């Protein structure tokens, strides 16, 4: 009898422990955290389309404790407003670019300098290096915005009208559109052209009327904006490996469990190459499309463009100790990169 009683007690205790574990698991699963994700690009763009895949996998791998809701096409406001939403915790995730953080640390724009990187892989490696991480951890401490990942957006190239561009000298005195920032002006200057700040929404008309004779953007953007209608030549200068960044609200990030943070980081890392593959596919198909529209596509020797970029960067930032410290850090990284 005593033996039966002992067995009964063991079974009872085991059952109670199992029930408690199941209750705890159910309670945990019941706490669903919604993460709002701002995407600047519309449906159909690799960033957004792969973003949906990432959202689904995060939900699955977190056992339903995380639900990611995508907001494409910048419907929540400007990207600058999205940064403020990250800081207050009303937004969890934002896909943008490193330059959006320039108000917290101007040299973060180093990733947008002409010929900063030879390819996307080199850009990823810099982001993950001690030099790259120092930039973003310092910004995180100041801003409350954590940078989780970098995504490829495409190589930026030059379009032009009625100019056979082989060297920077061919662009001397030619007005080429840029954004109204020192770094953007440096980019156009490195190509040999005269930078002219124009709002992106006004660019098509400016090209059509000859206010500027050229502009620079990745191939998919050139197609989406129909610049091939008002430009006759694409010059593959590949002057910028355009990298975007995925940001998180530090306030929300800290509120997540270690497992939830691990799930997000792991899934982002898994899909980074998927995004790059899709961007490259779009670019290849885009070049064929532009040829079919009658655009001439030039592939000049990039050596003189790289050399001119170094001169322009030195003249623009050579007397700025903060900038030069970061630039030297990048150059040291590239010298050791394999």
DSSP state of 213: S
**Tokens 């030059």 label which residue?**
158
DSSP state of 299: -
Whether the Cβ atoms of residue 216 and residue 284 lie closer than 8 Å to each other: no
Tokens of 327: 């630039």
In a domain, 18, yes or no: no
User: For the segment 117-152, what is each residue's pLDDT rounded down to a tens digit?
Assistant: 999 999 999 999 999 999 999 999 999 999 999 999
Mean pLDDT of the chain: 92
pLDDT at position 30 is 52
pLDDT at position 338 is 77
What is the rounded distance in angstroms from the CA atom of residue 135 to the CA atom of residue 147?
A: 10
pLDDT at position 123 is 98
Closest CA to 176 of 220, 115, 239: 239
User: For the segment 267-281, what is each residue's pLDDT rounded down to a tens digit?
Assistant: 999 999 999 999 999
pLDDT at position 48 is 96
pLDDT at position 261 is 98
Cα 139 to the center of its chain, rounded Å: 16
Residues, the chain: 338
In a domain, 133, yes or no: yes
Stated pTM of the model: 0.88
What is the rounded distance in angstroms from the CA atom of residue 153 to the CA atom of residue 237?
A: 16
In a domain, 256, yes or no: yes
What is the extent of the structural domain holding 137? 29-336
CATH of residue 45: 3.40.190.170
In a domain, 310, yes or no: yes
Whether the Cβ atoms of residue 174 and residue 265 lie closer than 8 Å to each other: no
Q: Total domain count for the chain?
A: 1
Cα 37 to the center of its chain, rounded Å: 14
In a domain, 164, yes or no: yes
Exposure of 6 by Cβ count < 10 A (0-12 exposed, 13-18 middle, 19+ buried)? exposed
200-209 contact pairs (CB < 8 A, 24+): 203/177, 203/227, 204/229, 204/230, 206/177, 207/161, 207/177, 207/231
- Asked if residue 27 has pLDDT above 50, the reply is no
Q: Report, as an integer, the average pLDDT of 77-83.
A: 96
**Residue 305: CB atoms within 10 Å:** 24
In a domain, 21, yes or no: no
Cα 105 to the center of its chain, rounded Å: 17
- Asked if residue 8 has pLDDT above 50, the reply is no
Exposure of 303 by Cβ count < 10 A (0-12 exposed, 13-18 middle, 19+ buried)? exposed
In a domain, 23, yes or no: no
pLDDT band at 11 (very low <50, low <70, confident <90, very high): very low
């Amino acid at each position: 009898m005593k033996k039966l009683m002992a067995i009964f007690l063991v079974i009872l205790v085991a059952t109670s422990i199992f029930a408690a574990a199941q209750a705890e698991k159910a309670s945990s699963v019941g706490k669903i955290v919604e993460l709002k994700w701002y995407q600047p690009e519309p449906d159909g763009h690799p960033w957004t389309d792969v973003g949906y895949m990432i959202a689904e996998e995060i939900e699955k791998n977190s056992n339903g404790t995380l639900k990611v809701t995508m907001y494409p096409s910048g419907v929540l406001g400007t990207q600058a407003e999205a940064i403020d939403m990250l800081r207050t915790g009303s937004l969890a995730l934002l896909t943008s670019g490193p330059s959006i953080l320039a108000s917290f640390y101007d040299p973060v724009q180093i990733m947008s300098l002409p010929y900063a990187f030879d390819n996307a892989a080199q850009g990823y490696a810099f982001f993950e290096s001690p030099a790259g991480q120092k930039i973003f951890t310092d910004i995180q401490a100041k801003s409350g915005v954590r940078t989780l990942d970098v995504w490829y957006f495409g190589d930026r190239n030059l379009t032009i009208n009625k100019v056979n561009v082989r060297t920077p000298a061919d662009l001397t005195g030619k007005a080429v559109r840029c954004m109204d920032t020192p770094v953007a002006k440096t980019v156009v200057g490195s190509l040999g052209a005269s930078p002219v700040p124009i709002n992106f929404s006004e660019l098509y008309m400016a090209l059509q009327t000859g206010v500027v004779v050229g502009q620079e953007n990745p191939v998919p953007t050139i197609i989406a904006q129909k610049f091939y209608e008002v430009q006759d030549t694409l010059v593959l200068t590949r002057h910028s490996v355009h990298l975007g960044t995925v940001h998180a609200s530090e306030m929300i990030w800290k509120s997540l469990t270690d497992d939830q943070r691990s799930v997000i980081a792991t899934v982002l890392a898994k899909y980074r190459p998927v995004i790059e593959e899709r961007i490259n596919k779009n670019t290849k198909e885009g070049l064929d499309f532009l040829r079919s529209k009658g655009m001439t596509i030039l592939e000049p020797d990039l050596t003189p463009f790289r050399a001119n970029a170094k001169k322009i960067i030195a003249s623009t930032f050579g007397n700025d100790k903060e900038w030069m410290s970061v630039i030297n850090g990048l150059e040291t990284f590239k010298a050791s990169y394999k």
